[in-house]
A and B are shown apart, each in its own frame.
Chain A
């Protein structure tokens, strides 16, 4: 075990997997010579050469589509989206091709392509560069969608993604790249998809989140515990599709009330999915309706003060917790 940053954890995963399997390659804009806008791929061109570390033109549909073609022939391309916001340009290649080719060929091909990149609101990047994509991609059968929040999960889940046979949308966050955490040294430690994690135990209220919001929830939980004696049980979903709702249900059976925290817009968001799932399995356990803490239903504004108003903060989570506790 060693303490590493999230960014380093991803970098290590890529390096180790490229060493382990010749079929693994990486491609994306400015990942080679420039060494990546977030420096995830630093040093890789030098080590693995241009056939395996491909600088692509600015052509998201082109890079994703060609990656799909490569994957169909047994390669394992990992495509970096400079930000997942740009993946919308490649949406047809992702949802109409990568997600479905296996199905409409009757299972004749695998598509082991990983599409990874940061999503979510950053620092004054404005409306087109600040979106979250768990809802967008979580909707499509044929895709796996994951959003690790810790360095250990980032490394372990990226390996699972690369070694799997299916297309994976791997959601990172600029806010997470710098956080540090314990990461196993063993290069064969994989973190499975479809398994949520109890990040913090508590008996008063269940808080469900992933990614950056998971950290915000943990912070709020600390405040609530030390200052108000309210003990939150915080669940890190980590896997959006498939979704592992069981730990959430077990938790709700204990606490009888829940809050879901998501960074982006409320309508049709992932929070709605969690609430519906809780309602399906634990309706009778609820002492209060599940409350969603979400971002403001607006395109992300540029001005700093507005941007701060547009995303959730500790106070919003606390308010929601109190609401479901009737405190």
Chain B
């Protein structure tokens, strides 16, 4: 049974070597940051309806992990999914169009912010039920092994998703199937310390989240989610291992979100402004930028160029969304099921 060869990113991470990839990753993180700020602005303008959950402050987590994944790996994410879509290669204009509810959106305007799908690029959602997609990710991983591929699934969720029933059912089944090498899934806990407005001390009996996953025979480790180098380093090693063994693994990325839970969470009564300010001193973009100026000699001009580029790209995306039309009314009845009975 020959294994299919797969495209890979760089194997070896040298934390002291400056490679073009690092600056590319910084550019991506800056782009995500500007993009998410733009979605917040557009929400305030009334262009985006419903819920909006932005990734501001957490950029290093998804950037680090996805930079270690292959092009044909899959991603399942919760509703805080814009960054995931952008990193997987979804067209920024079409993602913005989805948020604006236009027909050109990645999900045809029928999903919205919480349901970004781009199957061609490996994004399998975008889900609005906390912890509801973990089982799907585990099942997809099983299918990948069943189909004898070398692909794996990366499944992202927050600390808030760890107390719901389907989390436990998913973990147990993944751990069980993993024993036979039939579940190549990387579970990534985006632990930002809050389940919506409830801090981790107040929502979890045991706040050591990695330990809880290990109860299901899934190995795990904590990683500093604000340090891209650390995330990428761990991800490289872990993804390789999962791909080889077909056993699940869990990365608990300790991170922080600077914005509220969602666009309506303005007052944030559950944390102090001081705490947020203090956390801003660990802005992942700043951390990476400083690191790169050390090892790559990255200059302020370089960064400014990236910022300007990012803003221009974001502006294009917003324009595209603005100019697009809403979905055709016939879309209402399309894709409820694959064969329409009527």
In-complex A–B contact (CB below 8 Å): yes
| A residues lining the B interface (CB < 8 Å) | 25, 50-51, 56-57, 59-75, 77, 89, 92-93, 96-97, 101-110, 141-142, 144, 164-166, 193-194, 242
Q: What residues of chain B lie closer than 8 Å to A56, measured between beta carbons?
A: 173
- Please report the C-alpha to C-alpha distance between residue A102 and residue B108 in the assembled complex, in whole angstroms: 11
Q: Is A101 a contact of B125 with CB atoms below 8 Å?
A: yes
- Please report the C-alpha to C-alpha distance between residue A60 and residue B172 in the assembled complex, in whole angstroms: 12
Q: What residues of chain A lie closer than 8 Å to B338, measured between beta carbons?
A: 102, 110, 164-166
A241 vs chain B, min Cβ distance (A): 9
Q: Which of A59, A62, A63, A104 contacts B110 (CB 8 A)?
A: A104
Interface bits B120-157 vs A (CB < 8 Å: 1, else 0): 00001111110011111111111110110000000000
| B residues lining the A interface (CB < 8 Å) | 74, 76, 105-112, 115, 117-119, 124-129, 132-144, 146-147, 165-166, 169-170, 172-173, 176, 180, 182, 334-339, 341-342
Q: Which of B139, B182, B335 contacts A65 (CB 8 A)?
A: B139
- Please report the C-alpha to C-alpha distance between residue A68 and residue B106 in the assembled complex, in whole angstroms: 21
- Please report the C-alpha to C-alpha distance between residue A162 and residue B112 in the assembled complex, in whole angstroms: 31
A318 vs chain B, min Cβ distance (A): 34
Also in contact, A67 and B132, with CB within 8 A (given A59-B172, A108-B107)? no
Q: What residues of chain A lie closer than 8 Å to B111, measured between beta carbons?
A: 104-106
- Please report the C-alpha to C-alpha distance between residue A165 and residue B143 in the assembled complex, in whole angstroms: 16
Q: Is B140 a contact of A74 with CB atoms below 8 Å?
A: no
Given contacts A25-B146, A102-B337, 20 further A-B contacts (CB under 8 A): A50-B180, A51-B146, A57-B173, A59-B173, A61-B135, A61-B165, A62-B170, A68-B136, A69-B137, A69-B140, A70-B142, A74-B143, A92-B132, A92-B166, A102-B336, A103-B336, A105-B119, A141-B337, A142-B336, A166-B337
Q: What residues of chain B lie closer than 8 Å to A71, measured between beta carbons?
A: 139
- Please report the C-alpha to C-alpha distance between residue A62 and residue B134 in the assembled complex, in whole angstroms: 9
- Please report the C-alpha to C-alpha distance between residue A164 and residue B339 in the assembled complex, in whole angstroms: 9
Among B74, B126, B170, which residue has the most Cβ atoms of chain A within 10 A? B170
Q: What residues of chain B lie closer than 8 Å to A193, measured between beta carbons?
A: 341
Q: Is A105 a contact of B125 with CB atoms below 8 Å?
A: yes
Q: Is B129 a contact of A96 with CB atoms below 8 Å?
A: yes
A60 vs chain B, min Cβ distance (A): 8
Q: List 22 A-B contacts (CB under 8 A).
A: A50-B180, A57-B173, A62-B135, A62-B169, A65-B132, A65-B136, A65-B139, A69-B135, A69-B143, A70-B139, A72-B139, A89-B165, A97-B133, A102-B338, A103-B336, A106-B105, A106-B108, A106-B110, A106-B111, A107-B335, A108-B119, A165-B337
Q: What residues of chain A lie closer than 8 Å to B109, measured between beta carbons?
A: 106
Q: Is B143 a contact of A73 with CB atoms below 8 Å?
A: yes
Q: Is B335 a contact of A106 with CB atoms below 8 Å?
A: yes
Also in contact, A194 and B341, with CB within 8 A (given A63-B173, A105-B119, A109-B119)? yes
Q: Which of B119, B134, B147, B176 contacts A57 (CB 8 A)?
A: B176
Q: What residues of chain B lie closer than 8 Å to A166, measured between beta carbons?
A: 337-339
Q: What residues of chain A lie closer than 8 Å to B144, measured between beta carbons?
A: 73
B89 vs chain A, min Cβ distance (A): 15
Q: Is A51 a contact of B182 with CB atoms below 8 Å?
A: yes
Q: What residues of chain B lie closer than 8 Å to A164, measured between beta carbons?
A: 338-339
Q: Is A66 a contact of B138 with CB atoms below 8 Å?
A: yes
- Please report the C-alpha to C-alpha distance between residue A106 and residue B169 in the assembled complex, in whole angstroms: 28
Q: Is A103 a contact of B166 with CB atoms below 8 Å?
A: no
- Please report the C-alpha to C-alpha distance between residue A166 and residue B341 in the assembled complex, in whole angstroms: 12
Q: What residues of chain A lie closer than 8 Å to B126, measured between beta carbons?
A: 104-105
Q: Is A66 a contact of B166 with CB atoms below 8 Å?
A: no
B325 vs chain A, min Cβ distance (A): 15
Q: Is A65 a contact of B170 with CB atoms below 8 Å?
A: yes
Q: Is B129 a contact of A66 with CB atoms below 8 Å?
A: no
Q: What residues of chain A lie closer than 8 Å to B125, measured between beta carbons?
A: 101, 105
Q: What residues of chain A lie closer than 8 Å to B135, measured between beta carbons?
A: 61-62, 64-66, 68-69, 93
CB-nearest residue of chain B relative to A112? B338
A68 vs chain B, min Cβ distance (A): 5
- Please report the C-alpha to C-alpha distance between residue A103 and residue B332 in the assembled complex, in whole angstroms: 9
Q: What residues of chain A lie closer than 8 Å to B106, measured between beta carbons?
A: 106
Also in contact, A102 and B129, with CB within 8 A (given A66-B142, A93-B166, A194-B341)? no
Q: Is B117 a contact of A109 with CB atoms below 8 Å?
A: yes
- Please report the C-alpha to C-alpha distance between residue A97 and residue B334 in the assembled complex, in whole angstroms: 17
- Please report the C-alpha to C-alpha distance between residue A164 and residue B134 in the assembled complex, in whole angstroms: 25
- Please report the C-alpha to C-alpha distance between residue A261 and residue B211 in the assembled complex, in whole angstroms: 54
Among B110, B146, B169, B334, which residue has the most Cβ atoms of chain A within 10 A? B169
Q: Is A62 a contact of B172 with CB atoms below 8 Å?
A: yes
- Please report the C-alpha to C-alpha distance between residue A235 and residue B267 in the assembled complex, in whole angstroms: 60
- Please report the C-alpha to C-alpha distance between residue A95 and residue B277 in the assembled complex, in whole angstroms: 41
Closest 3 CB pairs of A and B: A65-B135, A69-B139, A62-B169
CB-nearest residue of chain A relative to B336? A141
Also in contact, A107 and B124, with CB within 8 A (given A69-B142, A102-B337)? no
Q: Is A66 a contact of B119 with CB atoms below 8 Å?
A: no
B336 vs chain A, min Cβ distance (A): 5
- Please report the C-alpha to C-alpha distance between residue A63 and residue B165 in the assembled complex, in whole angstroms: 12
Also in contact, A57 and B172, with CB within 8 A (given A69-B139, A105-B125)? yes
Q: What residues of chain A lie closer than 8 Å to B147, measured between beta carbons?
A: 73-75
B230 vs chain A, min Cβ distance (A): 29
Also in contact, A69 and B136, with CB within 8 A (given A75-B143, A102-B336)? yes
Q: Is B140 a contact of A73 with CB atoms below 8 Å?
A: yes
B322 vs chain A, min Cβ distance (A): 20
B3 vs chain A, min Cβ distance (A): 17
Q: Is A242 a contact of B341 with CB atoms below 8 Å?
A: yes
Q: Which of B115, B140, B170 contacts A72 (CB 8 A)?
A: B140
- Please report the C-alpha to C-alpha distance between residue A104 and residue B81 in the assembled complex, in whole angstroms: 14
- Please report the C-alpha to C-alpha distance between residue A51 and residue B336 in the assembled complex, in whole angstroms: 31
